[in-house]
């Protein structure tokens, strides 16, 4: 194939993939919501399609749909497939190295992030992203959609507050161990540290465990601090970072751009 022809095809494939990208997230969510992930992971060995159908929390009565969903999940590398097209043995599905991150109670579960990203309220705001270009400077799509920013909205909607805080905590559980292992020296010599916008304290709880000599304080908005699980090693201050910040040797301001991070990891491994 000529280079120009190859380039043309690659471009077409890229455009095609991006136009269908939301299907991946939707099928991923379906696997979590229906219990497919928990059943396959808990089975211990590859599970046949018919066994899977009857083992789901709400048993599946339309096995053809389940097969289509499973084939898509295999294509996404979330599960393995054995005995495809065999006349003797039924097809069966097992976990891949990605599956455990889809488990609800796994320490490094990605599910809280998925729940936030796929929440109807967040999806609705993504739909009007382009119109922000005609909006007020600094106004997010979320604010344009709901008439107030994410923080003000979360302060009045306990369910959304909880979903958001859990998603941030899940990001911290994935990233902070690497921060401590790879860059632990930045915390040596500190006696006090404030995490600004530190959410429900997941980051500082890990840091306090590894560096017990550091007095750790989280500063976040009152509606976030109110829901934080109490922890003797971490002090919580409810406030506004634009008004005042507790005194400390160092402050940290962490915003984990999960999608950029995952792409960076993927690129560094390819």
Ligand X SMILES: C[S@@+](CC[C@H](N)C(=O)[O-])C[C@H]1O[C@@H](n2cnc3c(N)ncnc32)[C@H](O)[C@@H]1O
For ligand X, the binding residues (CB under 6 A) are 151, 168, 171-172, 197-199, 219-221, 224, 240-242, 254-256
Instruction: Return the closest-CA partner of residue 102 out of 75, 76, 66, 68.
Output: 76
Closest to ligand X by CB, 46 or 171: 171
Closest to ligand X by CB, 35 or 197: 197
Nearest residue by C-beta to ligand X? Answer: 197
Tokens, residue 186: 């930045």
Angle between helix 63-75 and helix 21-33 axes, rounded to 10 deg: 120
CA pair distance 227, 155, nearest whole angstrom: 11
Closest to ligand X by CB, 86 or 259: 259
Minimum separation from the CB atom of position 176 to ligand X (A): 9
Minimum separation from the CB atom of position 166 to ligand X (A): 11
- The values of phi and psi at residue 212, to 5°, are -65, -15
Minimum separation from the CB atom of position 150 to ligand X (A): 8
161: Cβ contacts below 8 Å, ≥ 6 apart = 154, 155, 223, 224, 227
Minimum separation from the CB atom of position 168 to ligand X (A): 4
Catalytic residue among 18, 119, 127, 258: 258
Angle between helix 36-43 and helix 63-75 axes, rounded to 10 deg: 80
Tokens, residue 1: 């194939």
Task: Clarify whether 127 is annotated catalytic.
Answer: no
Provide the CA 232 distance to its chain's centre, in angstroms.
Answer: 27
SS3 content of the chain, % helix, strand, coil (to 5): 55, 10, 35
Provide the CA 151 distance to its chain's centre, in angstroms.
Answer: 19
Closest to ligand X by CB, 104 or 253: 253
Closest to ligand X by CB, 106 or 151: 151
Minimum separation from the CB atom of position 153 to ligand X (A): 11
Show which residues are catalytic: 258
């Amino acid at each position: 194939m000529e280079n120009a022809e190859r380039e043309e095809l690659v471009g077409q494939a890229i455009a095609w993939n991006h136009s269908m990208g939301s299907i991946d997230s939707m099928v991923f969510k379906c696997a979590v919501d229906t219990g497919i992930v928990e059943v396959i992971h808990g089975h211990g060995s590859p599970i046949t399609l018919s066994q899977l159908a009857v083992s789901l929390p709400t048993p599946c009565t339309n096995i053809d749909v389940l097969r289509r969903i499973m084939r898509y999940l295999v294509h996404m590398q979330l599960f393995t497939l054995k005995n495809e097209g065999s006349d003797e043995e039924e097809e069966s599905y097992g976990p891949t190295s990605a599956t455990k991150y889809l488990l609800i109670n796994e320490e490094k579960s990605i599910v809280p992030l998925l729940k936030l990203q796929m929440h109807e309220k967040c999806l609705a705001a993504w739909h009007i992203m382009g119109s922000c270009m005609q909006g007020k400077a600094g106004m997010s799509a979320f604010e344009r959609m709901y008439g107030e920013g994410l923080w003000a909205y979360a302060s009045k909607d306990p369910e959304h507050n909880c979903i958001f805080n859990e998603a941030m905590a899940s990001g911290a559980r994935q990233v902070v161990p690497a921060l401590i292992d790879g860059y632990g020296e930045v915390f040596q010599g500190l006696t006090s540290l404030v995490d600004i916008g530190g959410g429900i304290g997941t980051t500082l709880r890990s840091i306090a465990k590894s560096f017990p000599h550091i007095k750790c304080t989280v500063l976040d908005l009152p509606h976030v601090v109110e829901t934080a699980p109490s922890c003797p090693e971490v002090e919580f201050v409810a406030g506004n970072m634009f008004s005042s910040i507790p005194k400390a040797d160092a402050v940290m301001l962490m915003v984990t751009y999960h999608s950029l991070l995952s792409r960076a990891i993927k690129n560094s491994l390819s």
